[in-house]
Structure 1
């Protein structure tokens, strides 16, 4: 049915386009001949104006010279005629438009088209291996401007914002998804994670509240349990944080992908317990102060802490956790150039062929930091 309708339409359209080529040109006077007559009239008019004293001799000469030049050019065009297509060339163009072009379009469509195929849902397009993400984001944002209460749309775009390091917009999107679609452990956990990312990894009161809501809905939610334990450690209770993380690790199979992260965090808190003044560890006072600031002041405080960490690592480069934190911090702050520089400096302390060096490279690659000069 599709081909029965589409092929005649294509041929008719091609014939309409080709129709002017099939007509013989009218034996009308060329446009250039008309132009020549106009220029001759203008010359005569200049002579009349000169005779009546309306223009000076020099002005008349200049005007006659210019019009004479145009008259000569128009006369030459009249003698040589217009440059139209020959009959053979016109026939070739007609065959191309009416036969070859529709046939080529049909062959291409047979390989790539399917009139019965339904529209691909936005959720599937967002999850394609290589989607045109900028186009999809723009379309989704336009849809949400027109439909601001579409909770599902907000839930779809929020993780895209997070993957592109747009934590502020991700937070707004997750909150709208919860408001219009209803809360779930997944949405509350993702919201808390976005707030923590916005605050350079610190689990603020707002982030903690989101994770607490996630646990109310799903007491076994591993992400919420992890971040709430992290909050305990950031507030200074390392022993409770370690105990909570160990309980989390024991509650799930050892092959869970997040087990390595939990183990690394346990080791970090244990190291901080042994050396509480290690560079890069925010104090309980730092976390408490950041929680009470507005967004601009909190961001400035975070930048100051990162710059302080950077300076301290220059004096004390043998701090693996500090380099990890510095690379991650610069990427969260949207400064990949400084993150790449931190990676180079970290690899000077922990060469790329060591376990710590490989871990720094893996972190930088995961965060999307520049890898120039880094070798795994």
Structure 2
């Protein structure tokens, strides 16, 4: 039954492909070769030569007769030969498509395929003693639908989901694993790192909490120390971040696998710190010294003036990413949510929400508690 169906489908497909070729062969019957046009041109040339006196009338008549004979032959015999040749080519190609290709496909499948194997429906795949990985994953998922309290099942699925690119599902699986199996440094580590992947490299509040839990369970854990240092840098505390990373280097073996990435992050944070120092609105040493002797009210007014100056400069220099980050934090510090939201809208006009910088701005805004309503629409 399988072979009859397969061959029938192959033949129908081949006929559908070959039918235009057969029609084209029929259309070619009316085609005319180029020889007839050449002979007609020669007749015109003889007439022109006779009028100009290059040849006499008798020679011209003989030449006309010979060319006329050839013209008649070219007009009658050659078209039939040409169209016949083209039609034969079309038929041969149609035969190849209708017979040779399907026959070759059948021969190849009979050699390399499994024509004698029985059907393998989905239910049989689930019951197979050696199912593939997708079936195994689905088995666990089906069990968790009936027994969501199975923490071990969630723990198995979490890293699998991450490898498959299902980041949100992986985060949920790690949360459930911790919920049902309890606190464990490895589970918190899986959750935290998956959260970092989910937020495009940023260490959000939940990830920080998870890394802090790891340090409570395993004091000095290098992975947790590394990511918490990055969180300090994301908060604008470059000096604290560099100090934490330097401390991690000092406490680690020089051959530790994380040393190279730690050095790279120290260089990056230092470079960003230097760039931020050049950004508009950054207080000078004189500003800091003057603020130390001010009253709280005067100090707040000085800060507000600096923030307004930064805001005005960003209108002229909207591509200053660090400036926008500082402006958002400044308005939150001044407890001015309306201006913070308005600044975020302008920042996202310069750095679209789907860009890396735009995503970083939105992540900062979430952590700062800035309303996103109507901002990313």
By the TM > 0.5 criterion, same fold?
A: no
* Alignment TM-score, normalising by the size of structure 2: 0.41
Structure (1 or 2) with the greater helix fraction: 2
| Larger of the two Rg values belongs to structure | 2
TM-score (norm 1): 0.41
